[in-house]
Amino acid sequence: MVNLTRELGTRCTVSSYLNGDFKCENAINGILAAGAKNEWASKGEKEGAWINITFTKRVIVYKVQIWRRCAADDQCRQLFFEFSDGQNVALSTVCVKNRSWRLCTDPNLFTELNISPGKLTNWVKLTSYNKCDNHAGNFGFREVQYIGRISI
Listed residue (47, 58, 48, 49) closest to 17, CA to CA: 49
The pLDDT value given to residue 92: 76
Q: Which of 22-36, 65-79, 95-109, 123-137 has the lowest mean pLDDT?
A: 95-109
Q: Measure the CA angle with vertex 61, ends 60 and 67; round to 5°.
A: 160
pLDDT at 3: 95
The whole domain housing 119 covers 2-150
The count of structural domains within the chain is 1
Q: List, for residues 13-69, the tens digit of each pLDDT value.
A: 999 999 999 999 999 999 988 888 999 999 988 778 899 999 999 999 999 998 888
CATH number at residue 50: 2.60.120.260
> Cα separations (Å) of 15 from 59, 137, 140, 142?
23, 15, 10, 16
Under the banding of pLDDT at 50, 70 and 90, the label for residue 102 is low
Cis peptide before 107 (omega within 30 of 0): no
- Give the Cα separation of 116 and 82 in Å (integer): 16
pTM above 0.85, yes or no: yes
